[in-house]
Amino acid sequence: MTREKLMNVEEFQRVMGETGFDAVVATSQPNVFYTSGALIMTQLAIPKRLAMTVLPKGGDDALLVCNIEESLARADSWTEDVRSYVEYAQTPIALLAGVLKDKGLAAGRIGIDKMYLPAAHYEELAEALPRASLEACDELFDEVRSIKTEGEIERFAQAALATERAIVEAFREAKVGSTEAGVLRSITEKVGRAGASHTLFGVLRAGDQSFHAHPAARERELEPGDLVGVDFGAEFDGYGSDVARMAIVGEASDLQAEMYDKHRRVQRKAVECMRAGVRASEVYEACVQAYADFGIKLPGPHVGHGFGLSLHEAPMLQPQNSQELRSNMLIYIEPVIVDERVGALQLEDLILVKEDGAEILTTYADTEELFVIQ
Amino acid sequence: MTREKLMNVEEFQRVMGETGFDAVVATSQPNVFYTSGALIMTQLAIPKRLAMTVLPKGGDDALLVCNIEESLARADSWTEDVRSYVEYAQTPIALLAGVLKDKGLAAGRIGIDKMYLPAAHYEELAEALPRASLEACDELFDEVRSIKTEGEIERFAQAALATERAIVEAFREAKVGSTEAGVLRSITEKVGRAGASHTLFGVLRAGDQSFHAHPAARERELEPGDLVGVDFGAEFDGYGSDVARMAIVGEASDLQAEMYDKHRRVQRKAVECMRAGVRASEVYEACVQAYADFGIKLPGPHVGHGFGLSLHEAPMLQPQNSQELRSNMLIYIEPVIVDERVGALQLEDLILVKEDGAEILTTYADTEELFVIQ
């Protein structure tokens, strides 16, 4: 069934008009999904099996896939012009070059997402279209995709809430002796029951792995006193999540409770300063200052990130980014500190930026105190 | 804990010697894991957060990661020289260029996996090292990684068998009224209990989705007469799987049983012809011929693929590939046909190539007849 067209077509065409591109080519999985509605899992699993959209100024889009995925692409996508290549008989880039020529773009200014397309494919394209001007268009996608449509906000909010709920329910069921990997499996099962097609990533930090950002899962049993951090993302029909919550096994030490409380206060201060017009770097600086008030140095390179079809997308809340927040941006806010005594501290909530403030969308359970695993 | 070094170091250095490269740089997740032992999940989830290995001729390797992943990289990797960049303060490529200069390679012949590194990063590197000769080294990795070490064979065989078992056990528990997504969740849970960290992909074909190669999961209930195809991959501490099995809900029609039987006979004929020295294209042609004997045309572009840290890797069993099979290659054999009456037919088994034949490693349950879901 054709997916609902959630991309902001008018904005895309407007920004493309500003850039002067005659056409834009999307090659990354998120850009292709955004511009076509076709969710092709092998784009990630089998990188050489390229799928692409060709988006000329004014319309007349085409979707290019390998023939193995053609029936799915036709079923999923709102793009009527679906073309396919047979692997090993024709390269994906040969098909792309042919389509661009067909559309009279052989000598055009073509934008392409060069932060994704591998160099070897790019060089093949440059050779096949010697008169074309191939330019990076990653910023165009970053800009358009950063402002979410209503349908996107609804889907990403549901994904976030379902993920938060799964984490909290898994905490409720966990106990001393539950294994770290077992808690992650429990979350995986719960997001699955809530409609997730698959897990994007799942991290549980505890014990001696409290100091890694993204350790691998293991069968270690939870022990009293463990400060547990979970950072989990799942995908619901193409729309993902990225939520972090913390728990204590048994009773928190004074230091654990204190550090958690300080961390949470900083995160909430960051949310308070977010609204349309505030610069991304200002949110970062607000966290630096709030931590400094507690005598803590923030070591993280960012304190949050735009979220959409990519896990990290514009705007990145980092000190060099002077970009202003805008209404209908979705941002996961996650200042992280690693305390050498208690380990990493991380809460991650989904925020909707509005004209006059920011709304927290991950509101299933209160985070004022550490969740207690009995 | 540092991972066991399963890469074939001698073979890697030997092939590098043949190429004449002064150093090789790995940027893809599988190549970095292969050459360092560091399993960095954000390499896939956050593509801009590059991780890389620098592998000079004769040794003196370095592992380059963003500082967020540094503690994990140091714990996982056997590479002693771990360097890190701070995101947004320094680009990953600036760090790479500095390391290459430090190692006296600024004017060297550098191999780089250009089938993975995005064009924008590649151009930044070319600009930073104007005197270096940057060349594609994808084939070097393809060649070395295609011959598995004993430790790799053991891990990939275990992953395959655990996945096969999970699929078959989920079939055993399924019944009329089970949902398609529910069956996939059941498999996910079972591979998780067997030690999988996450699902690589999970596909279930039934009903009107029998004709897509990789449809998205849905809550449709299984009905009597459904021909069910499952293609599932999971990752066990970095080592993945890719197994396909089929089942019938209730009683198979004569046509379903007949088509399944023909399909399976073709797959077994392909296995019978595999041994060291046989060309990849010959296995493909054997399938074409075996299907033709049944009056069926094989539409698929390949009938199987090398498997390792990448889902599809050398050797691809496709008609243009004259590469000879070699001992200790691991290959998933999967001729697929889509019959317009019954849907897609696919069995996928892991095969170990030997001097005198090929051993099927996915032997948990017999596939001679369709598994019956009651």
Compute how many other C-beta atoms are within 10 angstroms of the C-beta atom of residue A254.
7
Q: What is the mean predicted confidence (pLDDT) over A64-81?
A: 95
Q: What is the spatial distance between Cα A267 and Cα A277, in angstroms, rounded to a whole number? A: 19
Express the helix, strand and coil content of chain B in percent, nearest 5 each.
35, 25, 40
Residue B318 and residue A88: Cβ atoms within 8 Å? yes
Q: Is there a cis peptide before residue A315, judged by omega within 30 degrees of 0?
A: yes
Identify the closest residue of chain B to A39 by CA–CA distance: B216
pTM of the model: 0.96
Cβ(B240)–Cβ(B234) below 8 Å: yes
8-state DSSP, A216: P
Q: Which of A232, A204, A227, A233 is nearest to A216 (CA)?
A: A204
Cβ(A269)–Cβ(A353) below 8 Å: no
What pLDDT sits at residue B200?
93
Fill in the amino acid letter for A370: L
Residues 6+ apart with CB under 8 A from B297: B291
Q: What is the mean predicted confidence (pLDDT) over B129-151?
A: 98
What pLDDT sits at residue A283?
98
CA atoms within 13 A on the CB side of B323: 19
Residue B192 and residue A185: Cβ atoms within 8 Å? yes
The average confidence (pLDDT) of chain A is: 96
At which residue do the structure tokens 């991959």 appear? Answer: B233
Q: What is the mean predicted confidence (pLDDT) over B309-318?
A: 97
What pLDDT sits at residue B211?
87
Nearest Cβ partner for A119 among B72, B118, B201: B118
Looking at the complex, does the CB of residue A41 fall below 8 Å from at least one CB of chain B? yes
User: Residue A220 above 90 pLDDT?
Assistant: yes
Q: How confident is the model at residue B299 (pLDDT cuts 50, 70, 90)?
A: confident
Nearest CA distance, B212 vs chain A (angstrom): 6
Find residue B177's DSSP bridge partners.
Answer: none
8-state DSSP, B128: H
The average confidence (pLDDT) of chain B is: 96
What pLDDT sits at residue A216?
85
Q: Which of B88, B117, B100, B15 is nearest to B56 (CA)?
A: B100
Q: Identify each DSSP E strand in chain A by its residue range.
A: 23-26, 52-56, 62-66, 82-85, 109-112, 133-136, 198-205, 227-236, 239-240, 243-249, 304-306, 313-316, 330-333, 337-339, 343-345, 349-354, 357-360, 371-373
User: Residue A299 above 80 pLDDT?
Assistant: no
Residue A189 and residue B193: Cβ atoms within 8 Å? no
SS3 of residue B74 by DSSP:
helix
Residue A211 and residue B71: Cβ atoms within 8 Å? yes
Model pLDDT for residues B166-200, shown as the tens digit of each residue:
999 999 999 999 999 999 999 999 999 999 999 99
Chain A neighbors of B197, CB-CB under 8 A: 181, 202, 216-217
Model pLDDT for residues A37-48, shown as the tens digit of each residue:
999 989 999 999
Residue A123 and residue B114: Cβ atoms within 8 Å? yes
Alpha carbon distance, N-terminus to C-terminus of chain B: 46
Of A219-233, B204-218, B256-270, B280-294, the poorest mean pLDDT is in B204-218
Residue B48 and residue A115: Cβ atoms within 8 Å? yes
Compute how many other C-beta atoms are within 10 angstroms of the C-beta atom of residue A247.
24
Partner B, chain A 92-151, Cβ-Cβ below 8 Å: 112, 114-123, 136, 138
Find residue A228's DSSP bridge partners.
Answer: A247
Ramachandran angles phi, psi of B315, nearest 5°:
-90, 135
Cβ(B30)–Cβ(B309) below 8 Å: yes
Residue B185 and residue A185: Cβ atoms within 8 Å? no
Dihedral angle computed from the Cα positions of residues A91, A97, A101 and A105, in that order, rounded to the nearest 10 degrees: 160
Element (H, E) at A333: strand A330-333
Here the tokens at position A185 are 């499996």
Q: What is the spatial distance between Cα A112 and Cα B348, in angstroms, rounded to a whole number? A: 36
Cβ(A315)–Cβ(A278) below 8 Å: no
Q: How confident is the model at residue A232 (pLDDT cuts 50, 70, 90)?
A: very high
Q: Which of B199, B183, B201 is nearest to B191 (CA)?
A: B199
Nearest Cβ partner for B120 among A68, A136, A185: A136
Model pLDDT for residues B63-116, shown as the tens digit of each residue:
999 999 999 999 999 999 999 999 999 999 999 999 999 999 999 999 999 999
CA B71, B77, B80, B86 torsion-angle sign: negative
Q: CA dist A153 to A11, A350, B57, B122, Å? A: 16, 11, 51, 35
Residues 6+ apart with CB under 8 A from A8: A144, A147, A149
Nearest CA distance, B217 vs chain A (angstrom): 6
Residue B188 and residue A193: Cβ atoms within 8 Å? no
Q: CA dist A244 to A204, A344, B330, B372, Å? A: 10, 12, 38, 42
Q: How confident is the model at residue A338 (pLDDT cuts 50, 70, 90)?
A: very high
Cβ(A311)–Cβ(A240) below 8 Å: yes
Q: What is the spatial distance between Cα B191 and Cα A358, in angstroms, rounded to a whole number? A: 40
What pLDDT sits at residue B117?
98
Nearest CA distance, B216 vs chain A (angstrom): 7
Here the tokens at position A278 are 């505030």
At which residue do the structure tokens 């699955």 appear? Answer: A192
Nearest Cβ partner for A214 among B42, B199, B302: B42
Model pLDDT for residues B2-59, shown as the tens digit of each residue:
999 999 999 999 999 999 999 999 999 999 999 999 999 899 999 999 999 999 998 8
Chain A neighbors of B87, CB-CB under 8 A: 301-302, 318
User: Residue B1 above 90 pLDDT?
Assistant: no
Report the percent of chain A where pLDDT is more than 90: 94
Here the tokens at position A344 are 């990493």
Here the tokens at position B252 are 């198979």
Cβ(A25)–Cβ(A63) below 8 Å: no
Q: What is the spatial distance between Cα A373 and Cα B308, in angstroms, rounded to a whole number? A: 39
Is the ipTM value over 0.85, yes or no? yes
Residues 6+ apart with CB under 8 A from A299: A337, A338
Nearest Cβ partner for A46 among B89, B238, B312: B312
What pLDDT sits at residue A358?
98
Chain A neighbors of B307, CB-CB under 8 A: none
Domains of chain A: 9-146 (3.40.350.10), 150-373 (3.90.230.10)
